[in-house]
A and B are shown apart, each in its own frame.
Chain A
């Protein structure tokens, strides 16, 4: 049948199973929005306050559901406003398709109104991007965009469509949804070497990263850990991949990770890396990370092998295939002494009580107490992010959404909306600092308009806590622009947007307020008055090793 470009965009999205789009209209994307209007209920379009919110929402939707998130934006500033969200998704390997429109082909290259070279701008932050030059290319390009987003190591793809192409007509034939390209299989000798290594390990340790979540390896990871009897540490991105209440769970590793997790990495003789990249926040000092270990690196992305840390054994491939295969090939192992050794190093995370301020640890533990294992925790970036990583007990994959790679302040509002829209049967609790909340609080309007039931917990210390913490340690307490002490009344802000606002001013209010907020099925903001002097501890200074750990400040 003959369709116009806008109809083709929507039809190809329908082919891919897309039913939710986050976006913002504008001049060049008008044709597509006009069709969206005519398509009625086929798509749920969430109009955000700002395109950045739409891109974070598509990202949050994707992280929570495992599906491809989709966002729409117009040319020029509409497209550039997506950039931070696309970069955030790229750094965390989140599959997403951003569709932008550009000025008509006859206006391109003339600095026309709202013209921008968005493919040029997003080249380094997308897996790939396209500018569609003819309506005939449109459907194949969008299909290809989905294919790229979900194949191999996942990530964002952008498709830029000049306005005239959204109106031009051509024949359209529906096709089935794209499936990921088959991932490369690990070589036989590499696999055999890995089995041999795991069979002879005395002090094995598993280090999981975001790949353990995006691969959907699921419970096979637990079976694997049990079979090789190896304790499991996790990067921030990997939290949830391995249940917190499992006997083999050691927990967060890295800069603000558990002492015993970092010490275990330093002492292990075999380190099995599952979909992680030895980021500088995990291996601060690459030369001193896992110095005694033979490293088996399992990753779908061959370019991760030896990128940050040279490893002795490589298994390239999908964890969802490699892990069950290894489990099958290895005999049951037992390492009770090693497990006891790690247990003996245990030093629980503790957040010191400061004056009469609300203790963030208790707030997060209360959120844990009143939510079930399926609840989705979304964080912004900063101290509260690490507290949410330390004190909430994640038991399932896709229950912690956080900007781990790019560290995007302002991420949480959009991401929480996306998660809540994508998973209406799961409770979404969002933690944000007052700094990050100020960045994108305009999305309160979206929360209110669509009555998106997110519990937004503002950890309000009136300062830029994490940066301030670094100033305490490395800059002689010179608090350059981290002490704004803004007078914003977040409860009033929430109410002004039509969102219920609550406040926790002391520890004894935590339980009742948190419980009430979680039980409500509407957007609600909680302003938590915490101390400007709280720190995230322990901390391994940047470039440091586990022996440099700071436990008191």
Chain B
């Protein structure tokens, strides 16, 4: 039995940080589904959102192993109750002619996607949302023909008024 695990890790904003975290996951045999990194409101720290698939009994072990890294300050396990998460999708679909373009636009409207680029034969769409919504959208646009797509992987914040950095500084 495996489940999806979303971790927010507050890490020192230094070079090699991504390599240290990614290396830990690969050498311990944990599967990373996606990983996003960004600088936080405090430039000394970066935030990583790590999505992985694992057995529930390994969750504590993964967190403890992360905390052993010198660069990791804090790890929070996120879920739907305690966090909000989102992912960005860019997808380029075939859309030649007015009818095809209109069909894509109608779908866009339903999902709240935006058109970022249009050519004679294609449209590039942008959508943010949870992984489930993005997957549903991808299924729907597949009928028009997907030329290429890119996804960022999830990023997430804890609900409420505090920051992950609050009790670290």
Contact = CB atoms under 8 A, between A and B. Distances in A.
A153 B70 CA distance: 12
A484 to B, nearest CB: 33
Contact of A306 (B19, B20, B60, B69): B60
Contacts of B27: 124
A306 B61 contact: yes
Interface in B25-73: 27, 57, 60-61, 64-65, 67-71
Given A119-B16, A120-B19, A123-B23, A303 B70 contact: no
Contacts of A148: 70
A127 B27 CA distance: 14
Contact of A123 (B16, B64, B68): B16
Contacts of A303: 61, 64-65, 67-68
Contact of B70 (A127, A306, A310): A127
Given A128-B70, A302-B67, A303-B67, A123 B61 contact: no
Nearest to B66: A303
Interface string B69-104: 111000000000000000000000000000000000
B20 A301 contact: no
Contacts of B60: 306
A302 B19 contact: no
B23 A301 contact: no
Contacts of A127: 70
B16 A301 contact: no
Q: Which of B20, B69, B70, B71 has the most CB of A within 10 A?
A: B70
Contacts of B69: 128
A128 B24 CA distance: 12
Contact of B61 (A120, A124, A307): A307
A132 to B, nearest CB: 12
A500 B116 CA distance: 81
A159 interface: no
Contacts of A124: 23, 27
Interface residues of B, number: 15
A464 B35 CA distance: 46
A307 B60 CA distance: 9
A96 to B, nearest CB: 16
Contacts of A123: 16, 19-20, 23
A283 interface: no
A306 B57 CA distance: 9
A305 interface: yes
A283 B60 CA distance: 21
Contacts of B71: 128
A151 to B, nearest CB: 10
A303 B24 CA distance: 13
A128 B61 CA distance: 19
Contacts of B57: 306, 310
Nearest to A153: B68
Interface in A281-326: 301-303, 305-307, 310
Nearest to A155: B68
Contacts of B16: 119-120, 123
A401 B22 CA distance: 33
Interface string B1-33: 000000000000000100110010001000000
Given A119-B16, A123-B19, A307-B61, A301 B68 contact: yes
Interface in A517-552: none
Contacts of A302: 64, 67
Interface in A120-149: 120, 123-124, 127-128, 148
A310 B56 CA distance: 13
A95 to B, nearest CB: 14
A123 B61 CA distance: 20
A427 B19 CA distance: 44
Contacts of B65: 303
A497 B60 CA distance: 53
A278 B19 CA distance: 29
Contacts of B68: 153, 301, 303
B12 to A, nearest CB: 11
A307 B58 CA distance: 8
Contacts of A307: 61
B55 to A, nearest CB: 12
A532 B67 CA distance: 47
A305 B64 contact: yes
A305 B68 CA distance: 13
Contacts of A119: 16
Nearest to B16: A119
A307 B68 CA distance: 14
A301 B69 CA distance: 12
A148 B68 CA distance: 11
Interface in A14-59: none
Contacts of A306: 57, 60-61
A153 B67 CA distance: 13
Contacts of A305: 64
A501 to B, nearest CB: 43
B45 to A, nearest CB: 17
Nearest to A152: B68
Nearest to B64: A303
Interface in B92-125: none
Interface of B: 16, 19-20, 23, 27, 57, 60-61, 64-65, 67-71
12 contacts: A120-B16, A120-B19, A123-B19, A123-B20, A124-B23, A128-B69, A128-B70, A128-B71, A153-B68, A303-B65, A303-B68, A307-B61
Minimum-distance CB pairs A-B, first 8: A303-B64, A128-B70, A302-B64, A303-B65, A124-B27, A303-B68, A123-B23, A124-B23
Given A301-B68, A306-B61, 9 more contacts: A119-B16, A120-B19, A124-B23, A128-B69, A302-B64, A303-B67, A305-B64, A307-B61, A310-B57
